[in-house]
Amino acid sequence: MGLLLDSFWRAAAYCMRPRVILLSLLPLLLMALLAFGLGYFYWDAAVQSMHSLLESSPMLKNFWSWLEGWGLGRVVGVLAPMMVILTATPVLVVVSLLLVAVLMTPALVTLVAERRFPELVRKKGGSFFASLAWSVGSTAMALVALAVSVPLWLVPPLVLVLPPLIWGWLTYRVMAFDALAEHASKEERKRLFERHRASLLGIGIITGYLGAAPSIVWASGVLFVAAFAVLVPLAIWIYMLVFAFSSLWFTHFCLAALQELREDDVRATMPVPSRLPLDTLAPAPAIEDTAPPAASLAAPGALPTDPRTP
């Protein structure tokens, strides 16, 4: 529990660092650049295609004509650009988030390692392709578990337990692997997963619940169209900040646990001095008094002195 809380407050403190804040703002910059580039080259064609799509059905044509009869003006001309924006925004968001997520985790691991664990040996137990395969495999297992557990969602308590549990398991599998890929060997990673499985799962569940906060802001942006341009970027920034916090929490926890594991291994290999029982010790040999008598110490030819003479 001490390691869990220590890594929690360290992750929260690291989120205030300029480098982390800059990384969390990077998706907004990428999304703006992509939107500007795609809009510059394809905006007119996209709006025209959407305009044609909205008028492709006779039923829709009658509906637009009915609205125009009520004095709403050219409805299709207003809806076509809005539909293009609503369709393109999720694609831009997903692409930006994926690009930053791929770059953010290694950057955060490097930040924590340089500041807290500069002497921790890098054993490089996981390559990029190993991490990719691990993530894809874990995601596939999580999706299968979700599909199998759908009938159980009809039970009111389980619908609040099973999905967060599955997503928490997926989060800890992916993020813990990425946090240890550079420093831990394959054997060390397995031992850490076995030793700290409950703590890692708890971190995954908590961060999974935190990841639901941006969805609320995103839904508000869709609901309040007037604030769409403000709420959606805010939701993206909050999501990336939560992602950074989650990655930092896993990194602090995993690297500290790895350091503790290696220290335990070193202590286990150190030789322990043996102690013999007291009854097996041989008694010390007696020391004989070989000092000559006092009379023999007198000088040769000296007369004995009478103690009564002064």
Residue 75, pLDDT score:
66
Residue 212, pLDDT score:
67
In 3D, which of 259, 297, 270, 309 has the Cα closest to residue 7?
259
Output the pTM of the full model.
0.70
Residue 2, pLDDT score:
85
Query: Mean pLDDT per 10-residue run, the chain (310 residues)?
Result: 90 92 81 79 83 73 70 68 74 66 84 92 87 87 88 77 84 90 92 93 87 61 57 76 90 94 88 58 54 51 50
Residue 132, pLDDT score:
84
Torsion of CA 135, 31, 213, 197, to 10 degrees: 20
